[in-house]
């Protein structure tokens, strides 16, 4: 399988090179030249498979040119054996035909573990084969950083530099990153917001001269295709658990960078019956404003109780725009260049095509807290603020009550005690046993100005072979 850029000018690459490259040389994001498609009969035959085996069935077509089947199966077995629930992604019922899929049973209590535990193993495999070293540079709005560090910290061929917005992630999220010890692990707190961190990462991938030609950058953000690939699987898992593919499913997805919901879009294109995808956002509602009114316009980023979604520039949205524009890279490039200058819209027929599948909602902090409280009082089930936004958006946007609605539960509530307290509940979510001493562990991180040259200089100085 070959991978092409959403901006149409970079060379097509194989899986190994896409894994290590991250952002394409023309500034675009890599997507498969074509997608595998599974028949209903084939999907039906996967019922009852363990999660790792289902992951093999869904993902192997994307990597088969690069990784032998037995090696990939071993990676998947190792990846999902560290999750705390044997189902890996268990479903919890909230109401009639309403479910939450718990995607926070991995080591860092967030859905990012599904992809980043695998990404670390993929990197180790490919870099060992090539006898190559890379520098991982990533931006996080809260959960990607800890999942990336946990997934890659044992990799012998990488140095890890994770940028997070200073004082704009929860204390648990910060400590999950900054208390992991290792000479190859570096946390940078940038005096800015997530979009500033993400912009620095993209600029650095576009010009890596600050590394002096001695190594290259690798991506852990969802600009890396391997992240998206791994997230497709749990849509199949949820559907198969609730009667799919013989009945259609609807999903509500808390999203800021559009990666997790784009994976659902791909699952549908690969043959899984999905009738609705709900984009669930907070006050940073650029995706909602586009999907509800065909206007893509950046506003000032706001700090909310759901910090992992405090994002205004949604990188993966470019991958959807690429499809909506008939895979015309030049059109996507022109659109995004205009979007950097002011509001843009797409042709009405393209927008209406997207609306056949997608709905959206924006949920403010008060409504988020109300939803946390209401669901707990009704079910004694505690939602984190991101999942609460997903549940509220699902209820507001649901098209058909006969179709199962599944909200992706993206994080453990113990990561966001302030939001739980603000909801008025007296219950205090407890960290699981393997994190019980988190607040006693020593932290290590460096605070830097919102300046790309300063950040690049820090990386150039501190990677192991500098």
Question: Can you give the pLDDT at residue 376?
Answer: 98
SS3 102: strand
Report helix angle 452-462 to 194-206, nearest 10: 60
Gap between the Cα atoms of 162 and 159, Å rounded: 10
CA separation for the pair 312, 303 (Å, rounded): 11
pLDDT at 466: 54
The structural domains of the chain, with segments of one domain joined by +, span 90-109+227-422
Strands 446-448 and 216-218: unpaired
How would CATH label the architecture of 90-109+227-422?
Answer: 3-Layer(aba) Sandwich (3.40)
By annotation, the residues acting in catalysis are 112
Token output for 296: 């893509």
Q: How far apart are CA 92 and CA 157, in angstroms?
A: 39
Pair of tokens at residue 24: 């394409």
First to last CA, the chain: 35
Helix (H, G, I), strand (E, B), or coil: what is residue 401?
coil
Rounded to two decimals, the pTM is: 0.94
Contacts of 181 (CB under 8 A, 6+ apart): 442, 444
Using CB atoms within 10 A of its CB, is residue 113 exposed (0-12), middle (13-18) or buried (19+)?
buried
Measure the CA–CA gap between 18 and 248, rounded to whole angstroms.
32
Give yes or no for a contact between 253 and 228, defined as CB atoms under 8 angstroms apart. no
- As given in the structure block, the two tokens for residue 126 are 């490919």
> Residue 85's closest CA among 438, 428, 412, 413?
412
Q: Kindly report the length of the chain.
A: 466
Q: According to the model, what pLDDT value does residue 393 have? A: 98
- Consecutive 10-residue runs of the chain (466 residues): their mean pLDDT? 97 96 92 98 98 98 97 98 96 98 96 95 94 94 89 90 94 94 94 94 94 92 93 98 98 95 98 98 96 95 93 93 98 95 96 98 98 98 98 98 98 94 94 92 97 97 81
Dist. CA 222–CA 22, nearest whole Å = 9
- Report residue 413: phi and psi, to 5°: -60, -25
DSSP for 128-141, written as a single string: HHHT--EEEEEE-S
How far apart are the C-alpha atoms of 224 and 118, rounded to whole Å? 12
């Amino acid at each position: 399988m070959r991978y092409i850029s959403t901006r149409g000018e970079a060379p097509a690459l194989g899986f190994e090179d896409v894994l290590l490259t991250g952002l394409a040389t023309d500034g675009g994001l890599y997507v498969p030249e074509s997608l595998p498609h599974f028949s209903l009969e084939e999907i039906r035959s996967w019922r009852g498979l363990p999660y790792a085996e289902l992951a093999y069935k869904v993902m192997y077509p994307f990597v088969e040119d690069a990784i032998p089947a037995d090696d990939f199966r071993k990676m998947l077995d190792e990846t999902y054996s560290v999750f705390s629930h044997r189902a890996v992604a268990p479903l919890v019922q909230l109401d009639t035909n309403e479910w939450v899929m718990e995607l926070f049973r991995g080591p860092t209590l967030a859905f990012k573990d599904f992809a980043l535990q695998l990404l670390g193993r993929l990197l180790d495999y490919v870099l060992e084969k090539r006898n190559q070293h890379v520098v991982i540079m990533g931006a996080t709005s809260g959960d990607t950083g800890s999942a990336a560090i946990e997934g890659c910290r044992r990799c012998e061929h990488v140095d890890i530099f994770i940028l997070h917005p200073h004082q704009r992630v929860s204390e648990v999220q910060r400590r999950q990153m900054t208390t992991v010890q290792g000479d190859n692990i570096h946390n940078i707190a940038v005096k800015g917001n997530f979009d500033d961190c993400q912009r620095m990462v993209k600029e650095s991938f576009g010009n890596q001269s600050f590394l002096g030609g001695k190594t290259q950058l690798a991506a852990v953000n969802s600009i890396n295709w391997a992240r998206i690939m791994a997230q497709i699987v749990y849509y199949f898992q949820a559907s198969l658990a609730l009667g799919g593919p013989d009945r259609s499913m609807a999903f509500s997805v808390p999203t800021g960078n559009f990666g997790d919901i784009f994976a659902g879009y791909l699952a549908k294109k690969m043959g899984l019956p999905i009738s609705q995808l709900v984009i669930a956002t907070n006050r940073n509602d650029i995706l909602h404003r586009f999907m509800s009114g065909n206007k893509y316009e950046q506003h000032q980023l706001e700090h909310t109780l759901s910090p992992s979604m405090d994002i205004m520039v949604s990188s993966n949205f470019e991958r959807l725009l690429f499809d909506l524009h008939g895979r015309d890279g030049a059109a996507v490039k022109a659109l995004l260049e205009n979007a950097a200058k002011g509001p843009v819209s797409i042709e009405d027929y393209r927008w209406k095509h997207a609306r056949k599948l997608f709905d959206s909602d924006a949920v403010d902090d008060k409504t988020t807290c109300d939803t946390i409280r209401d669901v707990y009082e009704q079910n004694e089930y505690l939602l984190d603020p991101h999942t609460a936004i997903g549940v509220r958006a699902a209820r507001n946007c649901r098209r058909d009550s006969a179709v199962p609605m599944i909200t992706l539960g993206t994080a453990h509530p113990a990561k966001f005690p302030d939001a739980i307290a603000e909801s008025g509940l007296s219950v205090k979510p407890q960290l699981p046993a393997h994190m019980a001493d988190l607040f006693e562990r020593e932290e290590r991180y460096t605070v830097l100005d919102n300046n790309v040259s300063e950040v690049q200089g820090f990386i150039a100085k501190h990677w192991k072979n500098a």
